Amino acid sequence: MWEKVQETVSYITEKTGFTPRYGVILGSGLGSFTEDIEIEHTLPYSEIPNFPTSTVEGHKGALIFGKIGGNNVVAMQGRFHYYEGYSMTEVTFPVRVMKFLGVEKLIVSNASGGVNPFYKVGDIVYIYDHINLMPEHPLRGKNDERFGPRFVNMGEPYSRKMIAKAKEIAVNMGVDVKDGIYLGLQGPTFETLSEYRMVKVLGADCVGMSTVPEVIVARHMNMEVFGISVITDIGSEDAIEEISHDEVLLAAQSAEPKVRGIIKELIIKY
Ligand code: HPA
């Protein structure tokens, strides 16, 4: 994998001559963040050697390179999910590549289902911890010390300093944000009511099908991580509503301007 990562990094560096410092992974319905970037290069995944290609509706599939307030950024427009059939190595490959392109800080966004009774649809949650219940671990197998250590400390997967700065930003913007624990499941089914209850009993505030693998791999390589989630539906017996992917996208899009603003300011001010 080391060689593949280096090959991809060399290709991108030759093509763009660009050294990003911030990496952004855009979740469902949050892709328009790229409008905040003064774009210098766009590389469709299909053109990047060793990159998987994106299949999910609402995910476009390109690496976007450019500046936000003078800071060099690379954004993944569309991510790879385990439920699509990719291996965990494929799901997290772009994060490896970002690291060796020069990314030190990774911002990850997603849509999730809320199980915390104080959450409502459209809420913005800063992820301060996660529970990994994905069926495969992205670091399973022989460890390559060039990436990071065998046993990764997960005491602070999400940077407390970045959360504190992002809270300041939200206050200044007049945007209400919450803190929460994200639980990662494989999907692609949304949870049964009993599964939502399980998520809550296990101590999480929201549940989704992404993020956890990318964050683990980022921490393996000692990147600083910030995670932000939009609550797109509520998983509880009292709120039985049909959830569909379209509704998830709609709810995420309604919170998108605020999420965009927070991420942009965080890149400028942190
Ligand atoms: N469950 C899992 N993933 C999700 C949900 C959900 O309720 N909403 C958005 N992504």
Yes or no: say if 180 and 125 are a contact pair by the CB < 8 Å rule: yes
Tell me, rounded to whole angstroms, the distance of Cα 267 from its chain centroid: 15
Percent of the chain with pLDDT over 70: 96
Yes or no: say if 72 and 20 are a contact pair by the CB < 8 Å rule: yes
233 lines ligand 1 (CB under 6 A): yes
58 lines ligand 1 (CB under 6 A): no
* pLDDT tens digits, one per residue of 206-245: 999 999 999 999 999 999 999 999 999 998 777 666 677 7
Instruction: Give me the pLDDT at residue 241, please.
Output: 64
Report d(CA 115, CA 113) in Å as an integer.
Answer: 7
**Residue 112 forms beta bridges with which residues?**
231
Report d(CA 52, CA 79) in Å as an integer.
Answer: 10
Instruction: Enumerate the domain spans of the chain.
Output: 2-269
Instruction: Give me the pLDDT at residue 30, please.
Output: 79
Ligand 1 test: best mutation among 182, 189, 233, most atoms within 8 Å of CB? 233
Domain 2-269 has CATH 3.30.420.10: no
**Residue 154 forms beta bridges with which residues?**
none
Instruction: Give me the pLDDT at residue 29, please.
Output: 74
270 lines ligand 1 (CB under 6 A): no
Yes or no: say if 105 and 227 are a contact pair by the CB < 8 Å rule: no
What's the pTM? Answer: 0.94
- In the chain, which stretches have pLDDT less than 50? 58-59
208 lines ligand 1 (CB under 6 A): yes
Instruction: Give me the pLDDT at residue 58, please.
Output: 46
- Cα 209 to averaged position of ligand 1 atoms, centre (Å): 7
191 lines ligand 1 (CB under 6 A): yes
| SS3 readout for 86-136 | CCHHHHHHHHHHHHHHCCCEEEEEEEEEECCCCCCCCCEEEEEEEEECCCC
Nearest CA to ligand 1 atom 3: 208
User: Cα dist. 101→1, 35, 95 in Å?
Assistant: 15, 22, 10
Decide the pairing of beta strands 177-184 and 124-132: parallel
